[in-house]
Amino acid sequence: MSAADPNCVFCKIVEGKIPSRKVHEDDEILAFHDIHPWASVHFLMVPKQHIASLAQVGPEHEPLLGRMMALAPRLALQEGCRPYPQGGWRVVINTGDDGGQEVHHLHIHVFGGPRPWLKG
């Protein structure tokens, strides 16, 4: 798990080499709109550090993942999801090829908005 992978599209987005529509940015986390959204609200949250997948997460990553999960509801509401319990959103982490992971940089999808969604 290196700081950045020069061949990783999400590392390039984190570094500003590929543009994105940012939702949130701090020292450890970048959140940005998905370029092929499945729902009216669909953004990704990535750690700035390159971690290939959830399968590579260890105890040292617990504070980072905790922050990401705690940040997701605030950003979901900020981006237009209706509040719980009538509203809501979905949080998904695809892991590995069998899990549907297409970009091998840990990322959390946040989906929301009125249903039906394009997928999911």
Is-cis flag, bond preceding 63, omega within 30?
A: no
Active site residue 107: yes
Catalytic residue among 42, 50, 105, 107: 107
Distance CA 63, CA 27 (A): 13
| Helix runs in the chain, H state only | 9-14, 62-78
State how far the Cα of 66 lies from the Cα of 29, in Å rounded to an integer.
Answer: 12
- Output the CA angle 53-58-60, nearest 5 degrees: 120
Would you please indicate which residues are annotated as catalytic (active-site) residues?
107
